[in-house]
Amino acid sequence: MLKLNQIWDNILIETESKVSTLSYDLYINTLTPVGMYRDRFILLAQSQALKNIVEDKYKELLKKCTNKVFPSIIDIEIVTEADLDRLCDVEKEVDIPVSNKFIVNTESTSSFSDKYTFDSFVVGKSNEFAAAVSRAVAEDPGKKYNPLFMWGGVGLGKTHLLHAIGNYINRNNPELRTAYLSSEQFTNELIEALRDPDNNSRRNFRNKYRFLDVLMVDDIQFLAKTEVTQEEFFHTFNELYLANKQIIICSDRPPKEINIAERLKTRFATGIIADIQPPNLETRIAILKKKCLEKGQQVDIKVLQLIAERITTNIREMEGMLNRIISYSTLVGGSCNDMEIVQEALKDYSDSSKEVITIDDIIDETCRYYKIDKKSILGKKKNKEIVIPRQVCIYLITDILSMPLVAIGEYFGGRDHTTIMHARDKISESIKDNQTLALNVKDIKDRLYNR
């Protein structure tokens, strides 16, 4: 049995390529399916004027496209609100033959980790706004805070909140179609779809993502790799946004600092932007307590404080250190609260870690490595001997620290954030092919981490 929206979704996909974007958006995509009566599919127009235009210019096209996907549907009827009372009983779900060239089931579900819920998310000053907005979106998707754009450094809880939203919606509104994916997955699926010479895969790809109720995309910054992917995502975003469907996007930087088309940046910024900053000491200890509770472990507060003081910017790394202590104590048959065992478990880790790395540390280490003075690297000189170390320094700052590009630009003599972005991206691309430069970057990192 097919629901009306599933039938209409597939008709739309077949119709979209047959008319101009303007005609599609103004007329066809504004119609709403209201029922099936025998072999007739009934669509509701928002006004008599719209009904007249569709009947005059697009009804025959709609009939052809409908019949191509659903051969048993012979006719299309356009009605208005005034016509609804006179309609006979109509079917809301229909068992009809489908052309085997098309995928009709537009319902899309994603699996979300059970351990990532709002209850298991520790809220502190650094993330309370993002947590509150995420819960509001989960409770009423598509109605407010749309789109929601969350950004922050690695391991600060963005993915946790995405899964928490998904789990909440699946539990309380299971009829909603949700999808959670990374921008890399979106790109890979699009590439596969484009390889189909008959365009069926491209149609099915659009079918999968443009008719969702909730779309969640992680690591959107990697969308910068291809223009084709950006173009496809732009149209997917528009379709969902205009239909009041919820869009949630995560990144490691704010929209204006992502190297993508300006029109995408603008759309990302039309809703709510929520940043997640590194948690303070109290929040980090609270997170570790929660992790211990989940693992059924009793760990002394002194051990938790040791971990929280050593790891300041990455919750995943903090949990990894906790797991290391628990595993090592089990292996040697001791207690994870024995400070000698804790220090032994972290012996290698402490040798390879520095408690806090600051922007000054990175600049000073880069200057020492390239044998240039700090004034030159922060100044305006553009000779090669200065520019490359400066770009490497900027790359390392963006890679290691969770600092906005605007703040980095201010530190480097008031440079524009786009200049900082260019330096970061240039080194990021160059180290893929330039082995010498890659080794230089690695050497500076090793010095910073005392490796």
Cβ atoms 270, 147 nearer than 8 A: yes
CA neighbor of 189 nearest in space, from 141, 257, 236, 244: 236
Interval 282-291 mean pLDDT = 88
Averaged pLDDT score across all residues of the chain: 84
Burial of 429 (0-12, 13-18, 19+ CB in 10 A): exposed
In one-letter notation, the amino acid at residue 125 is K
pLDDT value, residue 101: 44
Q: In a 3-state reduction of DSSP, which class is residue 37?
A: strand
Considering only 63-77, 185-199, 323-337, which range has the smallest mean pLDDT? 185-199
Strand 214-218 and strand 246-251: pairing? parallel
Residue 108: is its pLDDT beyond 80?
no
Interval 86-112 mean pLDDT = 55
- In tens, the pLDDT along 234-270 reads 988 988 888 889 999 999 888 888 878 888 888 898 8
- In tens, the pLDDT along 150-176 reads 998 877 889 999 999 999 999 998 888
- In tens, the pLDDT along 352-371 reads 444 567 888 899 999 999 99
pLDDT value, residue 102: 44
pLDDT value, residue 103: 45
Distance of alpha carbon 82 from alpha carbon 31, whole angstroms? 15
Q: Identify which has the larger pLDDT, 135 or 445.
A: 135
Strand 2-3 and strand 93-94: pairing? antiparallel
Burial of 154 (0-12, 13-18, 19+ CB in 10 A): middle
pLDDT value, residue 100: 43
Residue 218: is its pLDDT beyond 50?
yes
Distance of alpha carbon 261 from alpha carbon 267, whole angstroms? 10
Distance of alpha carbon 80 from alpha carbon 168, whole angstroms? 36
Q: Which tokens sit at 29?
A: 């995509």
Residue 140: is its pLDDT beyond 80?
yes
Distance of alpha carbon 447 from alpha carbon 439, whole angstroms? 12
